[in-house]
Amino acid sequence: MEITGEISVGDFDNYYQKVFQEISENAEIPGFRKGQTPANIIKERVGEHYILEKAAEAAINETWPKILEEKIEQGLEIIGRPQIAITKLAKNNPLGFKIIISILPKIKLGDYKKISREIMKEETKIIAEDKEIDKMKERDRKRIESLDKIAEWEDYLKHIKKTEEELKKDWSDNALKRVKHGLILRAVANKENIRVFEQEISQKIEQMLKAVPLEEAKKLDQNRLKDYAYGIIRNEKTFQILENV
């Protein structure tokens, strides 16, 4: 999704003046006391374009989070960091910009409770000697079968303007299935208003770290680890709903 916009001449000039003031206060130029250098000398030394770029950076950094917050309030689910480009940069002019964001498409769910109920109640023959292993395999098979049937995948493909064959060229079959199932689980979790609590996340992280050497654990990105634990817990809660409808 592409968002274009402008910051008015007046607002951009305020950023320009603020940035220029900071540069002036910190400039150390021979022959002048720090903070006492005339404006024209500073502009000659650092360059007008440099000041404009710094002003644009300050303006955009303050503006884009507000724009994304508005989009989130409108119901869009934004993923990843936005790509931002300046489209117009000149003194005494509005600041033009472009923001490109990735959004999760809406997944249209079928009657997932009915579909899951029919799949989960199917009788399956379990071999005695491998009873526990077979139960787990059968549970996973039914989970995948449910996910394959409860969403209208064609709507998603229309949204991204690709066929399934085109997606397979970009991703392996397993990667495509993970994306598909992840989107469906997310949609069901949102529909069911599934919540994950901080205590649950902490317990899951503690459990996962037990299998990791201490030195390796120290290198892990805590935010990513937290997101990963959150996803595991939310997905499991979602599956439990599908299995017990």
> In 2-111, where does DSSP find H-type helix?
9-26, 39-46, 48-73
| 62 shares a domain with 177 | no
Does one domain contain both 95 and 202? Answer: no
Same domain, 86 and 191: no
Residues 99 and 193 in one domain: no
Same-domain pairing of 132 and 223: yes
What average pLDDT does this structure show over 218-238?
87
* 116 and 96 in a common domain: no
Average pLDDT over residues 67-86: 83
* Maximum Cα–Cα distance across the chain: 91
Residue pair 191/235 in contact by the 8 Å Cβ criterion: no
99 has which bridge partners? Answer: 3, 84
Residues 6+ apart with CB under 8 A from 32: 38, 41
Q: What are phi and psi of 96, to 5 degrees?
A: -95, 140
Q: What is the pLDDT of residues 104-148, one digit of tens each?
A: 767 777 787 888 877 777 655 544 445 555 566 666 677 677 776
User: Looking at residue 127, what is its pLDDT?
Assistant: 46
- Quote the pTM value: 0.54
Domain final residue pick, 103, 123, 149: 103
Segments forming the whole domain that contains residue 9:
2-103
94 and 131 co-located in one domain: no
What confidence score (pLDDT) does residue 152 get? 61
- Are 119 and 38 part of one and the same domain? no
Name the domain boundary from 70, 103, 136: 103
Q: In this structure, are 71 and 149 located in the same domain?
A: no
Least confident of 41-50, 159-168, 173-182: 159-168
Q: What's the rounded Cα separation, in Å, for the pair 48 and 187?
A: 50
Please check the confidence at residue 80 and state whether its pLDDT lies above 80: no
Instruction: State the Cα–Cα distance between residues 176 and 170, nearest whole angstrom.
Output: 9
Q: Work out how many domains the chain is built from and give that number.
A: 2
**73's tokens:** 């309030």
The CATH code of the domain that includes 54 is 3.30.70.1050
Q: Where is average pLDDT lowest: 88-97, 106-115, 153-162, 218-227?
A: 153-162
d(CA 214, CA 236): 27
Dist. CA 75–CA 55, nearest whole Å: 31
End-to-end CA distance of the chain: 37
Averaged pLDDT, 178-196? 84
Q: Are residues 95 and 73 in the same domain?
A: yes
169 with 210, same domain? yes
> Where a domain ends, among 50, 75, 103?
103
Q: Which residues contact 212 (CB under 8 A, 6 or more apart)?
A: 220
Residues 238 and 121 in one domain: yes
